Structure 1
Amino acid sequence: MNIGRRLIAPTAVAGATALSLATLSACSADGSGSVSSGGKLKVTASFYPMQYLAEQIGGSHVSVTELTKPGVEPHDLELTPRQTATLGESDVIVYLKGLQPAVDDAIAQSGVRNTADAASLTSLEKHGTEVDGHSHTTGDNNTGSTGEVAGADPHIWLDPVKYAQVAKGVEKTLAKADPNHADTYAKNLNALVKKLDALNTEFRDGLKNRTSDTFITTHAAFGYLAERYGLVEEAISGIDPETEPSAARIKALHTLAQQKNVSTVFFETLVSDKTAKTLAGDLGVRTDVLDPIEGITAKSKGSDYVEVQQSNLKALQKALGAK
């Protein structure tokens, strides 16, 4: 017999097992306020704007996983089996229903109880246009038939005011999942809202003294921002950046650019700039970047949401002759 081996009494085994189960229970999310192993809340964010909110509000008490990797166009996301499995292990999911159908389907099947849907935390609007150039704030999203083309616009994060409303809902979800750190989440939310309020003021004041209201973009991502500050966005394609513009839409943009003295056609970092540069060449105007902030990459003009928005403001000021 190996004298180094010791027999363990049945009562000791039972006690250790009970202790382990109790520990596991305390460290796993049950939908009623516990946190995951390691003491951090496991948060899954569908894409960068949701990730930013979760990290800013959660701080050191959350571990955030982003489903949409940097450089991937969020509208096109397809989940891998591993991502779907990870989603089901989340304590909290922060997403925007309607933007990424694959994510919506996976969340519906995940069984995760603590979810924050940004689309339900502020009001969504329908943005559309007339194809003859008499437009609202977004671009033609069909084949060029007459009449207004409208759909629910998901790009709420580009309006700092609406984004702050979403942030408040995210904070409530985090606090519900992890009430022990609710005070910290509330404090972090207040700091974030102050930053977004300051950003709103920068846009409002920075675009006051402008010579033009109209700007052209690759796809209709800036309708909320345009409405907030009294601008008119004209998009080459519609809400979906992959939609091909109709011949009628391109013709309308030529006319509109001349009428409104448009100086710039904006393109973005995550989709092709070919159409924007072709249109700008035909019009004899310049191109610049207006970032919908769907992901941060090495090409982004800033390291986070606020910095990229400030870069967007500078680009708009230049395009619209703001002083």
Structure 2
Amino acid sequence: MKKLLVKLSVLMILPVMLIGCSTKSGNDNEQSEKVNVMVSISPLKEFAERIGGDKIEVSTLVPENAEPHDIDFGPKDLEKLMKSQVFVYNGLGMEHWLENVEGQIDKDKVKMVDSSTGADVRVIDGKQDPHLWLSLREATVQSNNIKNALIEVDPENKDFYEENYNKFKDELDSLYNEYKDKFASKTQKYFMTSHAAFGYLCRDFGLTENSLHDIFGEGEVTAKKNAGAINYCKEKGITVIFSEGSETQKEAETIANEIGGKVEPIYSLETKVEGKSYIEAMRYNLETIYNSLK
């Protein structure tokens, strides 16, 4: 009888033990589980992956081939966001939909991370420039914010996150220092793009960008604007027009034809660059701009 009671007691206790070991509510995932991270745009995904490594699972709210400026945030997106433990967004107006849904997000369950916190933000015509990730210096700030958030929700892996962040920061600093010296050797430091996305990059290296569209890729390209761009290129000795995609290729070709120049691709990195890491894509951008200068 005693043996039977012992067996029954074990059978009753075992399921409780299994439940306690295998599940956690909300964000209290056990050490063996990965931290569920959602980011708003593609470059933040790589920043998070570089820091979080195999301790996190990262998904992107905006499809990696979609234009972030034009995204429409719906109920299904909110549902996906609410399943994450950490949500990293760019800030500075990039996620224009966020202010309409932020009140519906349970911040006790989802750690909200504004990656622009602490950044040296550019303001152009009263608008904040959201393209922080195109600055190697500001990418470090964004990555640091991600690192701090991961440590907050998963303090047991603090050393892991710190080490990965420092490795990534070293790569960013190395690339910055390499091109800081290279650009310093140039006397002509002007270039022309379709979309005014590269202001932070220009600030990093003492360059000047002119463009057909504003920082949000808006604005009609009129005959007057075309004429102004052509005159600017001739005045500054610009012979390469940079295009960020097929939608701006024709506009860039129009200018290039008038100045006897050529069009070359450049990456805004708002969407995933196939076959290139963030560091590789930024190196391509910097080298391509460098080679276009005199």
TM-score, normalized by length of structure 1?
0.81
Match of 2:279 in 1: 306
The C-alpha deviation readout for 1:192-235, integer Å capped at 9, x for no partner, is 10010011012212212224111011111000111111110001
- Contact map agreement 1:42 1:64 (CA 8 A) in 2: yes
In 2: Cα distance, 1:316 partner to 1:122 partner: 24
Compute the displacement of 1:272 (Å): 3.3
Match of 1:190 in 2: 166
Match of 2:115 in 1: 118
| 1:293 partnered with 2:287 | no
What is the alpha-carbon root mean square deviation over aligned residues? 2.4
Higher helix fraction: Structure 1 or Structure 2? Answer: 2
Q: Among the aligned pairs, what percent are the same residue?
A: 26
Q: 1:47 to 1:108 in 2, by over 3 A?
A: farther
* 2:280 maps to amino acid: E
Match of 2:60 in 1: 66
In 2: Cα distance, 1:51 partner to 1:167 partner: 10
- Contact map agreement 1:214 1:320 (CA 8 A) in 2: yes
Runs of 5+ unmatched residues, structure 1: 1-7, 128-148
The C-alpha deviation readout for 1:102-141, integer Å capped at 9, x for no partner, is 34544542214412111223121113xxxxxxxxxxxxxx
Residues matched between the structures, number: 285
In 2: Cα distance, 1:312 partner to 1:107 partner: 35
Match of 1:237 in 2: 213
* 2:237 maps to amino acid: N
Q: 1:67 to 1:37 in 2, by over 3 A?
A: farther
**1:239-254 aligned within 5 A:** 239-254=215-230
Runs of 5+ unmatched residues, structure 2: 1-6
TM-score, normalized by length of structure 2?
0.88
- Contact map agreement 1:266 1:276 (CA 8 A) in 2: yes
For the residue of structure 2 that corresponds to 1:272, the secondary structure is helix
Compute the displacement of 1:283 (Å): 2.4
In 1: Cα distance, 2:99 partner to 2:8 partner: 51
Match of 1:24 in 2: 23
- Contact map agreement 1:73 1:270 (CA 8 A) in 2: no
**1:85-100 aligned within 5 A:** 85-97=79-91, 98-100=93-95
Mean alpha-carbon deviation: is it higher for 274-283 or for 179-188? Answer: 274-283
Compute the displacement of 1:306 (Å): 0.4
**12, 21, 44: which one pairs with 2:38?**
44
| 1:259 partnered with 2:256 | no
For the residue of structure 2 that corresponds to 1:191, the secondary structure is helix
- Contact map agreement 1:76 1:100 (CA 8 A) in 2: no
In 2: Cα distance, 1:22 partner to 1:310 partner: 46
